[in-house]
Structure 1
């Protein structure tokens, strides 16, 4: 038997003030769209903003439904919208912000597993990494240079 050890590295910013200006602006849009999410059940609000290679910004917020799991996470709302409206544009960067109604979220909140797999599909399709910046409501911002840091053993179409 041999062991496979996987390691990953993230850039950690102490706040949005440390982010590059264009990413700070993208995160501001993620925060704004987060406030328009529909989360009456979980009371957990998430916003995502995607910067595309054509300069467009696509937004998404989580949309819940009483018939779980019919709702959709912010990241998938945004990336599926980008794929539908701008199919030839690559996703360059994604900014994600999450907040709860019951407490202040200061821990960076990464995409869930289903969102990671959906983002992976687009990263594999476009053959370029997607920078993913994520935070809570306030505090530190983590940056992953690629989805592969969040999902190192990615499942792709080559296995089918």
Structure 2
């Protein structure tokens, strides 16, 4: 017998003015770094900026290659850099912004599946959720308290 199961995501939709000064700063860094994206195939430029528990901000942009779509996402690049170079310091916030090359308006953005799993792994590593800030096309920002709402069936355990 089948069961109908309902899933609900919890997040906030905020205007720019409703963000804290720190969140605005992080989102501005994500927006700026998106301009350095190497995206000759998709023209979709993504920037990601994260704040470590120490307060330090790291950033990255997506990097494509000719075997498109086998590029590397901005989110995974910056999380990998943080893990390799600041291995004992938790990631507290991650801001993501994107737009098509030449567009004035920001695109609605959300991490891909691989990036969602990488965010999950980082949360598991430090035992704390990462506040996610996602730029929206209308100028608003979505804020999630951790990856759970974006990845309800997380892959947490090889033995489960």
Common fold by TM > 0.5: yes
What TM-score results when the alignment is normalised by the length of structure 2? 0.91
Structure 2 match to 1:2: 3
Partner of 1:47: 47
Matched with 1:23 is 23
Does 1:13 pair with 2:14? yes
CA contact (8 A) 1:48 1:61 kept: yes
1:130 and 1:146 in contact (8 A); partners too: yes
1:73-152 paired onto structure 2 within 5 Å: 73-101=73-101, 103-136=103-136, 139-152=139-152
Deviation at 1:156, TM superposition (A): 1.4
Looking at structure 1, the residues matched to 17 and 45 of structure 2 have their Cα atoms a distance apart, in angstroms, of: 22
* 1:62 to 2:62 alignment: yes
Residue 132 of structure 2 aligns to a residue whose secondary structure is strand
Q: Which moved more, 1:87-96 or 1:97-106?
A: 97-106
* Residues 41 and 107 of structure 1: CA distance in aligned 2, closer, same or farther (over 3 Å): closer
Structure 2: segments with no counterpart, 5+ residues:
none
After TM superposition, give the deviation of residue 18 of structure 1 in Å.
2.3
Distance 1:17 1:68, change over 3 A: same
Q: Unaligned 5+ residue runs, structure 1?
A: none
Contact 1:49 1:94 in 2 (8 A): yes
Note if contact 2:98-2:107 (Cα within 8 Å) is conserved in structure 1.
no
* CA RMSD in angstroms, aligned pairs only: 1.7
Tell me how far apart the structure 2 counterparts of residues 112 and 150 of structure 1 sit (CA, whole Å). Answer: 10
Secondary structure in 2 matching 1:26: helix
Deviation at 1:13, TM superposition (A): 1.1
The question of whether the paired residues in 2 share the 8 Å contact of 1:106 and 1:140 is answered with: no
**Aligned-partner SS, 2:139:** coil
| Residue 42 to residue 69, structure 1, CA distance change in 2 (3 Å) | closer
SS at match of 2:115: helix
**Given that residues 100 and 107 in structure 2 are in contact (C-alpha distance below 8 angstroms), is that contact kept between their aligned partners in structure 1?**
no
